[in-house]
Every structure is written in structure tokens, then in C-alpha cells.
């Protein structure tokens, strides 16, 4: 065997190919602007929590002038909505109140 092999001959003996042969170039994987996905702008999420509208007839003194108080509670429980409306009426210094209606919004 010949001990004085050139680098080219060693490569050919080991791998069976020469450097003069070029491997096929892979196709470009770049995405052009025609192929890009354009997402639609999304609307901001709105607060769609369940609400109840409680209407109370409130008075500061017994059988005095009455006013109508409308309170919006962010709950589905009519009992809790009524309690919240009554506590709001107490905070506004009304002593006497009567439930008129509870409506879902």
C-alpha cells in the first residue's frame, strides 16, 4: 500500500466522493409576504358578568316621602342582590325600604 496518500485520495478512499461533486442545494424555506398569515385584530373582551337590577322604594322616615333606589348587583342570586341593595340604602341613610322588583340584565 502506498503510505504517501494525499488528503484528496484519503477522502475518496474513506467516503467515496470527491469535493468536486456538489450536493444539491436545499430549496429556500423563507416565507414570502404572500404566504404569511395575517391575523384579524381582536376586540377587547367586554365584561359580561351576570347582573341583577334591584328596585327599592326607600323612605327616611316612616310613611314619609318615598324615593326609588335602583341598584345593580353583579350576581345571579336574587337574595344576595336584595341584601346588597338594602345595605346600600342603609349606607345612604334610609331607614325604611320596600322591594319593588328584581330584574335580570
- More confident: 87 or 49: 87
Residue 37 to residue 60: CA distance in whole angstroms: 64
Q: pTM of the predicted model, to two decimals?
A: 0.53
Q: Which residues face 53 on adjacent strands?
A: 72, 103
For residue 48 the three cell numbers come to: 359580561
Give the pairing type, strands 52-59 and 66-73: antiparallel
Per-residue pLDDT of 54-99, as tens digits, reads 999 999 998 889 999 999 999 989 999 999 999 999 999 999 999 9
For residue 76 the three cell numbers come to: 345571579
Q: Which residues face 29 on adjacent strands?
A: none
Q: How confident is the model at residue 41 (pLDDT cuts 50, 70, 90)?
A: confident
Q: How confident is the model at residue 33 (pLDDT cuts 50, 70, 90)?
A: low
Could you tell me how far CA 14 lies from the centroid of its own chain?
A: 60
Give yes or no for residue 21 having a pLDDT over 60: no
Measured on CA atoms in the order 61, 65, 66, 67, is the torsion positive or negative?
negative
Residue 66 to residue 18: CA distance in whole angstroms: 103
Q: Where in the chain are the domains?
A: 52-104
Amino acid at each position: 500500500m502506498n503510505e504517501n496518500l494525499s488528503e484528496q485520495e484519503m477522502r475518496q478512499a474513506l467516503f467515496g466522493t470527491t469535493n468536486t461533486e456538489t450536493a444539491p442545494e436545499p430549496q429556500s424555506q423563507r416565507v414570502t409576504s404572500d404566504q404569511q398569515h395575517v391575523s384579524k385584530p381582536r376586540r377587547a373582551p367586554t365584561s359580561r358578568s351576570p347582573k341583577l337590577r334591584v328596585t327599592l322604594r326607600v323612605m327616611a322616615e316612616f310613611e314619609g316621602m318615598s324615593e326609588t333606589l335602583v341598584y345593580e348587583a353583579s350576581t345571579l342570586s336574587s337574595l344576595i342582590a336584595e341584601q346588597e341593595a338594602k345595605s346600600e340604602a342603609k349606607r345612604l341613610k334610609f331607614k325604611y325600604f320596600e322591594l319593588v322588583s328584581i330584574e335580570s340584565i
